[in-house]
Structure 1
């Protein structure tokens, strides 16, 4: 993309809060569960989307707003999809309990496998590009190796579902957020794992009685944020023992049972989140104050993500199947 080229060699400038709608993309016929910009900066005009309509789509979300490709390898809702680090493949998983690794160009499956559970979370290892974690409606999270098409390791907890997965510190540790919130205890809501040994490091991280539908890591500081069903985002240290920051809380948006995603801007100054009322909220990371809200969608907005290179470009998606690009 000619728009991205001038930014490739230079340092990322300060993120600006987007104000105006550039593209309105409405080819999905069901809720959009996940969106992700291509991680290869030269190809970061491409946006991936996964939907309840059983498809994964790739869009040119910078120059034209057009759908470039549709992949229909799933027989049920696609709950999770991720770009590979090389930007040439897409990993997807859904409620048909199948995993597919698809070649972006040809649309052919490089790897396919059936799991024993409906998939709701997928994350590639940050340094080992052939390994990914898969979680869903099961007490188990599995580490897979694409080269062998086999499960490397299993991480087992006394939970029914994994809601999200987040890698920490070069992938040596990772966190899972789960549905384990009971009347008498909130342990196991967020669990920290040792990637290599599959040992639990801690399950005493978050003590409020709310599930956390999404987790996100700060790009520069050793902290992470958990989106909670208490209609606020909580801030934690990403170092053991992963203490919560009791002084900061990001609230004003609504979650209300939707898997509302949250993310930091690439420079780490802003925290952005969707909201079940269709709005997008921009918080100042340092002060935790709301900087601006954007009336983005009529239905629940479940994801809002900043472009990795262009400093004020934002993609949002909603429960009606719409994707919008803002600047």
Structure 2
């Protein structure tokens, strides 16, 4: 028992000396003997400490953490086997070390994966790829009651009144729409479901082709002036150049940062600008795939890029609540505007006259800046009455320059008069935020809208 062994002298099993054992030491020893009676009779062996140079697997270094042989969970006693038989003892730890199958990595909200693993694919899903003359959908149709080629002449726009068609394919919010340049007989849509879709605007109004290859939300698209190619940008940090007709991915570009806006220069269609999340605007040459110029003066993510002055200059806005104007190809701003009352400007649209640019400001208004030499704000022009907080609804100006239109977080599409700044009309286009708005370049009153549910609606 615990305590002092009183007295000294002979006892039946030998000679007893006075000593002291603490309660905890006695209990620990007692439990060890009860659980393994052999432990008291023989000295326990430890496993080999292993080789310092081996990190994992058989013979790996265990050091002071080497276990006692009796502690092995499935160790078999030597008595069960003859002396000549080899006993192979398999440890669960060794199995894990020898076959290190990596656990599937869970992506955090801000993590990105390289999309090289997923190839670019495109599929024609229309009813007829070629007409009786062997022409694809790229051919502008002539069998309509509206002329889609040549000079438009005197052109007057009107505000649409009714919903005439719904384009259904996307499963998540529409982020951007683009009509085919000049003719508008095709419609390109980008979505948060990582897909890009091409639609027939006339005839059956069907889905013609899908473009897959991005792994995250596609946030911007832009046609070249001929419409034969378009560039897309996505939150997977890639920008990709596509062939509109074949769906082939011609080139892809990345710096490891997220592109927020891409714009092909209409005067130099083999080059495009990309506004990045790391404050830079990059100028790419699609022929070589190289960056040929870098505009690095913004202090936060770049949101908009708008060409002006016959594409010799462009204007950019950023989350740093400023506006900068640049000469194309020269990386030093020619104008810098940052006033205390300014908010981030998240979307933009040039006026057809070429003299102004309208910007969607985060304080629930559309503001206008001149795009000529002075680049000053036109204080008389401010379009209010819609809500954009928390989203970045597109802003669009009618081809005749008479109307300004914008989406709204309440599901409306709003129309203002360019001259008087009064809101003409408000259409309930969806029960979700309307993020994309575009005027048809040839029709007098046709507008397409895209909402956060992935629905594209066509209005007349």
TM category (shorter chain) comes to over 0.9
Q: Provide the C-alpha distance between the structure 2 equivalents of 1:309 and 1:271, rounded to a whole number of angstroms.
A: 17
Give the 3-state SS of the residue equivalent to 1:213 in structure 2. Answer: strand
Structure showing greater relative contact order (alpha-carbon pairs closer than 8 Å, 6 or more residues apart): 1
Query: How far off is 1:281 after superposition?
Result: 0.8
| Residues 19-168 of structure 1: pairs in structure 2 closer than 5 A | 19-41=161-183, 44-168=184-308
**Number of matched residues?**
318
| Residues 207-286 of structure 1: pairs in structure 2 closer than 5 A | 207-286=340-419
Query: How far off is 1:205 after superposition?
Result: 5.4
1:62-106 deviations in whole A, cap 9, x for unaligned? Answer: 332311111001111111111121212121110111111111222
User: Structure 2: which 5+ residue stretches go unaligned?
Assistant: 1-140
Q: From the CA coordinates, give the structure whose radius of gyration is larger.
A: 2
Distance 1:87 1:158, change over 3 A: closer
Q: Contact conserved, 1:177 with 1:212, CA < 8 A, in 2?
A: yes
Distance 1:206 1:50, change over 3 A: farther
Q: Provide the C-alpha distance between the structure 1 equivalents of 2:417 and 2:215, rounded to a whole number of angstroms.
A: 41
Distance 1:209 1:222, change over 3 A: closer
Q: Provide the C-alpha distance between the structure 1 equivalents of 2:339 and 2:395, rounded to a whole number of angstroms.
A: 17
Question: Of Structure 1 and Structure 2, which has the larger fraction of its residues in helix?
Answer: 2
Give the 3-state SS of the residue equivalent to 2:310 in structure 1. Answer: helix
Q: Which 4+ stretches in 1 moved above 6 angstroms? A: none
Distance 1:233 1:92, change over 3 A: same
Q: Which position in structure 1 is the counterpart of 2:103?
A: none
1:283-303 deviations in whole A, cap 9, x for unaligned? Answer: 100001111111111111112
Query: How far off is 1:4 after superposition?
Result: 6.3
Give the 3-state SS of the residue equivalent to 1:6 in structure 2. Answer: coil
Give the 3-state SS of the residue equivalent to 2:295 in structure 1. Answer: strand
User: Structure 1: which 5+ residue stretches go unaligned?
Assistant: 182-188
Q: Contact conserved, 1:280 with 1:301, CA < 8 A, in 2?
A: yes
Taking only aligned residues, the RMSD between alpha carbons, in angstroms, comes to: 1.5
TM-score, normalization by structure 2: 0.67
Say yes or no: does 1:177 pair with 2:317.
yes
Q: Contact conserved, 2:309 with 2:354, CA < 8 A, in 1?
A: no
Q: Contact conserved, 1:12 with 1:309, CA < 8 A, in 2?
A: no
Say yes or no: does 1:18 pair with 2:160.
yes
Q: Provide the C-alpha distance between the structure 2 equivalents of 1:223 and 1:77, rounded to a whole number of angstroms.
A: 30
Query: How far off is 1:13 after superposition?
Result: 2.4
Q: Provide the C-alpha distance between the structure 2 equivalents of 1:242 and 1:49, rounded to a whole number of angstroms.
A: 31
Question: Of Structure 1 and Structure 2, which has the larger fraction of its residues in strand?
Answer: 1
Q: Provide the C-alpha distance between the structure 1 equivalents of 2:339 and 2:390, rounded to a whole number of angstroms.
A: 18
